[in-house]
Every structure is written in C-alpha cells, then in structure tokens.
Amino acid sequence: MKKKHIVILINILVYIFALLYVLPIIWTIISSFRLEKDLFAYPPKLISEFTLKNYAKVIQTTDMLTYFKNSVIVTVSSTIITIIISLMAGYALAKIKFKSKNFFFTLFLSTLMIPLQVIMISIYFVLARIGWINTYWGLIIPPAATPTGVFLATQYIKSSIPTEVIESAKIDGANELKIFWRIIVPLCQPVIAALAVLSFTWRWNDYIWPLLVVSSPKYMTVQLGLALFSGEHTVQWGSLLAMTTLSMIPVMIVFLAFQKYFVEGITMGSIK
C-alpha cells in the first residue's frame, strides 16, 4: 500500500516536470492564438479570448507564404537528390569492386571533419563565383551531398543486400545502371525512409546554409524569415508567434508519422 503511494507520487512529479519542460513551446503556441493587446496587457493576463487574427495578419501583411513556398521547394528537392546520390554512392562503395574505392570512402568521411561553420567564409566565394547567390540552385544542391547520407546508405547496402543477387543479375546481362534501379533501390526502402526523414528535418530547420546563400526576400526560407522578423526594432510578437507555430508543423507531422526512423538515424551517431 505504501509503495503504491510512492509510485503514484513519482509519476505525478515526473509528469509535472515533463510539462514544465515543454512549457516554452506550449506557451509560444498558446500565445499565437491571443490578441497582441492581451499578450502585453497590464496587469498581465494568462488567459484571454481565442483568436486567429495573428495568423490572418501574418499571411496578409508579410511574405510568409513566399518563405513557406521556398522552404517546401528547397526541402523536397534537396531531400530527393540526397536520397538518389547517397544510394548511388552507397551502392558503389558497398558493392562495386574498384581500386580507388577506399580512397574515396575515406575522402567522403573526412568531409565530416570540415564543418560548415569553419568554411562559410570561403564557401561564400565559391557561391558568388559560380553565381549561385540568391538562387534555388545554391539553396538546394550543395547541402544535398551529405557524408552521413553516404555512410548510412553504404552500411545498409553492405549488410542487407546479398552480393549473389547482384552477381546473378549480371550473369543475366544487366548493366550497373539497371542493377541500381531495379535491384538496389527497391531493396533500400528502410534506408530511404531514414534518409528522407533526416534530410527533411535538416533542410526544413536549416539556418546557416540559407543565411550564406540568400539575401533577397524573394528566396528566403521560413527560418530566415523568422530570424528577420525577430531582429526588427519593434518586434510584432503576435505575428511572429503565429509564424513560429506554423513553421513547427511540417517537421512535427513528419516526426509523428516516422518516429521509428528518427531513432534509427540517432543511433547511427549522426550529427545534424
């Protein structure tokens, strides 16, 4: 009997702690549905009427929809490219016996040692030189190549696709390209899902890369837009909170639908 009480007490404490833990996010979401005059009322109010005015305002008076459109274009295309080129490299590094394989595998992995933060200055030169500043190309292509993607694909193909399947297809006269599309890609569904989820989150949430590429509002992504609004002299908190809440939604949907793959990506030790 006494032990049961302790169990209940522990559970209550844990749940109070967990709710306090996510309070900053909840508070942001709740506040986005309150009028700006209620947010800053004096004496402060915790509860006030529910309104969608902030959302209407942010859509009517800002370029928010453009930012969302850009983020969708960038996230989706970059993710598709990441999947294709990671599987391609993964296939070559796992199953094709070529002499320079180890060299390239090490080269790809060694790019992990050069974080973006360290080369952003000289990357800017490259982007400017090839004319990719303020373009979708600049936003989409460079981040699509990721060592983590190549690494995950190589590991998966090496361990889960039997070499015999490939060999027998070769005997039947299939060339490498055919083997890749007809055999490797269909058998790679779990790693495709994991890469899709990881890449979607990375690209949607990314701030540094778009910051380097974009200066024109025409190409700004959601994250840049949020940072831009929050840096203004008089911050319009009502609109900003509505925009923040909206921008959480896509990743949260992906997360809730594909939770399993998030965990898989994590246990592989992938850093953002």
Partner 1 sequence: MNISKNSRAEMAGIFFILPNLITFTVFVIFPAISGFYLAFTDYSMLRTQSNFIGLENFKTIFSDFSSSSFLRSMLRTFVFTAIFVPVSFFFSLFLSVITTSETVKGKNFLRTLFYWPWILSPVIVALSWKWFLDIDAGFLNIMLEKIGMQPKRWLLEPNLAFFWVTVVNIWYVAGYFMVMFNAALTSIPQEVYDAASIDGANKWQRFWSITFPLLRPTSILVLVLSMIMAIRSFELVYVFTKGGPGNTTMFMVQKVYEVGFQDYKLGLAAAMSVVMFFVLLGLTLIQFRYMRQEE
Residues 29-58 that bind partner 1 (CB under 8 A): 31, 39-40, 42-44, 46
**In this complex, which beta carbon is closest to partner 1, that of residue 61 or of residue 111?**
111
Query: 55 to 114, contacts with partner 1 by CB under 8 A?
Result: 81, 84-86, 88-89, 91-93, 96-101, 104, 107-114
Nearest residue to 227 (alpha-carbon basis) of 246, 211, 203? 211
14 part of the interface to partner 1, by CB under 8 A = yes
Give dist(CA 258, CA 251) in Å, integer: 10
In this structure, what token pair is assigned to residue 111? Answer: 């790019």
Question: By the 8 A CB rule, do 32 and 242 touch?
Answer: yes
Q: Which amino acid is at 258?
A: F
Least distance from C-beta 212 to partner 1, angstroms?
Answer: 8
161 part of the interface to partner 1, by CB under 8 A = no
What sign does the CA torsion over 144, 145, 150, 151 have? negative
Least distance from C-beta 68 to partner 1, angstroms?
Answer: 14
Least distance from C-beta 25 to partner 1, angstroms?
Answer: 6
Q: Which whole-number Å values give the CA distances from 147 to 180, 230, 233, in the listed order?
A: 20, 33, 40
What is the distance of C-alpha 50 from the center of its chain? 31
Least distance from C-beta 272 to partner 1, angstroms?
Answer: 8
Sole window of 11-19, 56-64, 163-171, 185-193 interacting with partner 1 (rule: CB under 8 A): 11-19
- Sort 114 into a burial class: Cβ within 10 Å, 0-12 / 13-18 / 19+: exposed
Sole window of 15-23, 48-56, 163-171, 187-195 interacting with partner 1 (rule: CB under 8 A): 15-23
Residues 173-212 as x/- pattern, contact with partner 1 by CB under 8 A: ---x---x--------------------x--xxxxx----
255 part of the interface to partner 1, by CB under 8 A = yes
**In this complex, which beta carbon is closest to partner 1, that of residue 73 or of residue 105?**
105
Residues 227-246 as x/- pattern, contact with partner 1 by CB under 8 A: x--xx-----x--xx--x--
In this structure, what token pair is assigned to residue 184? Answer: 């490797």
**In this complex, which beta carbon is closest to partner 1, that of residue 50 or of residue 125?**
125
| 68-81 b/e (C-beta count within 10 Å ≥ 16 → b) | bebbeebbebbbeb
The three-point CA angle 254-258-259 to 5° equals: 105
Question: By the 8 A CB rule, do 227 and 207 touch?
Answer: yes
Q: How many residues bind partner 1 (CB under 8 A)?
A: 92
Least distance from C-beta 43 to partner 1, angstroms?
Answer: 7
